[in-house]
């Protein structure tokens, strides 16, 4: 039997990054009955993507990811309205993009983009499900307005070259699928209690899940503006 999430959670969702996290998240949301998805990604499909990005096949190499993903999702879910942005999200895009969606999913592989999106939650008021996966590990955290953000968790953002990425360090493809589906579940679930967020950490080698409470840091430069 299919479980229908609440009407509010099926509002328009934007997925930023249509890679190893964004592909399974999009499929899971469409399967749950989402009516409107906006897909954002500036990259084209590469052969190295195929093991973890199941919406794409070898025949799609060289095509914009959002174009292919939009076609595949529209074929599989005829009632789904799909909008595509074939571009990388920069600071000027974040506010207009998030403001007209009920929820955002971060499927990017960039520290800068992750903090940019996290910082926007308190300012714009759109909940975000942040996520990341690399090598054998992954994590996901829903950030609601008034909840803890990535700066509450990590302090300042590390430099891009300090953090391993899927492209540089590799990733277990199936684990990206697990994390993307988990992000969709968090998107469809309830908001976090005020003043905190829940961090879900997955170890792909031991298959252990850990759940940690992250509390808002007073005067946090990321989420302090609205609290």
Residue indicated by tokens 């968090």: 186
Residues 6+ apart with CB under 8 A from 171: 20, 52, 133, 134, 135
Does 223 bind Zn ion (CB under 5 A)? Our answer is yes
The pair of structure tokens assigned to 72 is: 């595949």
Binding Zn ion (rule: CB under 5 A), the pick from 151, 157, 171, 197 is 151
Does 152 bind Zn ion (CB under 5 A)? Our answer is yes
CA pair distance 23, 5, nearest whole angstrom: 20
**# residues contacting Zn ion (CB under 5 A):** 6
Binding Zn ion (rule: CB under 5 A), the pick from 149, 176, 199, 202 is 149
Does 147 bind Zn ion (CB under 5 A)? Our answer is no
Nearer to Zn ion by C-beta: 64 or 127? 127
In contact, 124 and 165? CB cutoff 8 Å: no
Does 214 bind Zn ion (CB under 5 A)? Our answer is no
Nearer to Zn ion by C-beta: 20 or 147? 147
Residues 6+ apart with CB under 8 A from 117: 16, 89, 94, 98, 104, 106, 108, 128, 130
CA pair distance 52, 182, nearest whole angstrom: 15
Nearer to Zn ion by C-beta: 189 or 195? 195
Binding track, positions 102-141, relative to Zn ion; x by CB under 5 A: ----------------------------------------
Q: Is 139 helix (H, G, I), strand (E, B) or coil?
A: strand
Indicate if 166 belongs to the active site: yes
Residues 18-77 that bind Zn ion (CB under 5 A): none
Select which of 23, 149, 152, 166 is catalytic.
Answer: 166
Nearer to Zn ion by C-beta: 29 or 150? 150
The pair of structure tokens assigned to 203 is: 């170890």
Q: Report the catalytic residues.
A: 166
Using CB under 5 A, list all residues that contact Zn ion.
Answer: 149, 151-152, 220, 222-223
């Amino acid at each position: 039997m299919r479980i229908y999430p609440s009407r509010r959670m099926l509002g328009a969702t934007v997925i930023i990054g249509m890679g190893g996290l964004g592909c399974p998240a999009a499929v899971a949301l469409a399967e749950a009955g989402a009516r409107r998805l906006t897909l954002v990604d500036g990259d084209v499909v590469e052969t190295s993507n195929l093991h973890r990005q199941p919406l794409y096949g070898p025949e799609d190499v060289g095509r914009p990811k959002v174009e292919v993903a939009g076609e595949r999702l529209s074929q599989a879910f005829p009632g789904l309205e799909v909008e595509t942005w074939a571009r990388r999200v920069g600071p000027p895009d974040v506010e207009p993009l998030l403001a007209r969606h009920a929820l955002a999913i971060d499927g990017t592989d960039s520290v800068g983009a992750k903090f940019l999106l996290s910082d926007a939650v308190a300012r714009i008021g759109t909940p975000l499900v942040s996520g990341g996966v690399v090598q054998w590990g992954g994590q996901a955290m829903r950030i609601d307005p008034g909840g803890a953000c990535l700066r509450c968790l990590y302090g300042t953002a590390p430099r891009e070259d300090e953090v391993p990425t899927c492209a540089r360090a590799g990733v277990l493809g199936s684990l990206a699928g697990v994390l993307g589906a988990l992000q969709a579940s968090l998107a469809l679930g309830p908001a976090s209690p005020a003043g905190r967020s829940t961090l879900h950490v997955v170890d792909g080698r031991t298959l252990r899940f850990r759940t940690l409470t992250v509390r808002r840091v007073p005067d946090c430069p990321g989420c302090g503006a609205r609290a």
